[in-house]
Structure 1
């Protein structure tokens, strides 16, 4: 029987709920391979705070090509236009030495009614969801199967952080899946993160990737798309 979705919300870096261990900006417990569609039960939905140990993004296997070619590693604080690509070093758990081409492809305004499925109630009353859509391409030699490229958050017009929602289970408006099996050099996927604007008079104007090494205090700022 399908269970109703439940959950809470929180700032992208201020949540206190710990769901998985974290040793660096992208290190999580790798997701297990998904069961075949013909035998898999319906997935539950739930929402939890977006925080350093809980990525607020998801992936699909029907990814478009990342905008632009991979180049030099992006620098802390570097700013990109929507559709431009950043080359990013990527480690995840025991998976080391990866390199990805990361592109924020769109920041789309949603409807407050979209959040009804997550059963967040008054916690999201008056708030407007925005969907940060991004593509991931493996441009290194490391197999990144079943890893997760999270740590994407929204920024409001004044550059303050938007509230984030991390979804566990199926949420069609913003899919939440790990990278698929066989995610080797040249493979691509899409991701999505949810950011909440406090009202209809405020919007999520940009997106920031703050995964390792850009989340280090010694490095300073993440990568920004706007």
Structure 2
């Protein structure tokens, strides 16, 4: 049986963040009710000294980010990530998951393209993104598993992701509860991006 676990965006070990409530009073103008933007500080430069997209960059859907693939402070290569959409799924998509853990959860599919740019053979490397709720701060519920429509986050194996230009279409599932929605996708892999992720939104 599949399981879910809540993954935080901004702390090592993905501990859950505290909920930040947001809303608008009735007398406020309509624009005040729009979702808040992520609480990230746009960096002074869009790229780092080594050519990667700077931690903290805010991007639109369809915009490309160059990011390192790091393990234990050692870089093994560079990939390009392009988030194309966040789509609301259906409750029926979650059949087979633990009913108690997905109670009240609406699934969302974060779709993105991953392209090999340079480095070692990255075949089989997992490259999942994190989902942020509409307040742009709190992480949603990570759905550990996959459906027929979403859940592919691992690069092709056996040399299928080892040469410049090779790419694959990925999809990470996240869930939201209580009328919330997943509005942003974030890359927070590796030390440089853990506290200051790259965030995509509309």
TM-score, scaled to structure 2: 0.70
Superposed structure 1 runs of 4+ greater than 6 Å apart: none
CA distance in 2, matches of 1:202, 1:113: 18
Q: Whole-Å Cα distance in 1 between the matches of residues 153 and 185 of structure 2?
A: 20
- Identify the match of residue 81 of structure 1 among 60, 71, 89: 60
Instruction: Give the Cα separation in 2 of the matches to 1:146 and 1:92.
Output: 14
Q: How large is the Cα RMSD of the aligned pairs?
A: 2.5
* 1:2-42 per-position Cα deviation (integer Å, ceiling 9, x unaligned): xxxx133221139xxxxxxxxxx8xxxxxxxxxxxxxxxxx
Q: Kindly provide the CA deviation profile for residues 24-69 of structure 1, in whole angstroms up to 9, marking residues without a partner as x.
A: x8xxxxxxxxxxxxxxxxxxxxxxxxx65xxxxxxxxxxxxxxxxx
Match of 2:86 in 1: 107
Asked if 1:156 is matched to 2:151, the reply is no
Distance 1:142 1:75 in 2: 22
Residue correspondence of structure 1 range 1-226 to structure 2 within 5 A: 6-13=1-8, 72-92=51-71, 96-118=75-97, 120-150=98-128, 152-159=129-136, 160-167=138-145, 171-176=147-152, 178-180=154-156, 181-182=158-159, 183=161, 184-199=163-178, 201-216=179-194, 220-226=195-201
Helix, strand or coil for the counterpart of 1:224? strand
In structure 1, how many angstroms separate the alpha carbons of the residues matched to 2:70 and 2:166? 17
- Cα displacement (A) at 1:154: 0.8
TM-score by length of 1: 0.63
5+ residue gaps, structure 2, are 15-49
Distance 1:92 1:188, change over 3 A: farther
- Alpha-carbon separation, structure 2, partners of 1:176 and 1:145: 14
Task: Provide Cα deviations, 1:162-218, integer angstroms capped at 9, x if missing partner.
Answer: 111121xx631213363113212110011111111103x3211111111013444xx
Q: Distance in 1 between matches of 2:124 and 2:117?
A: 16
Flag structure 1 segments of 5+ consecutive residues without an equivalent. Answer: 1-5, 15-24, 26-50, 53-70
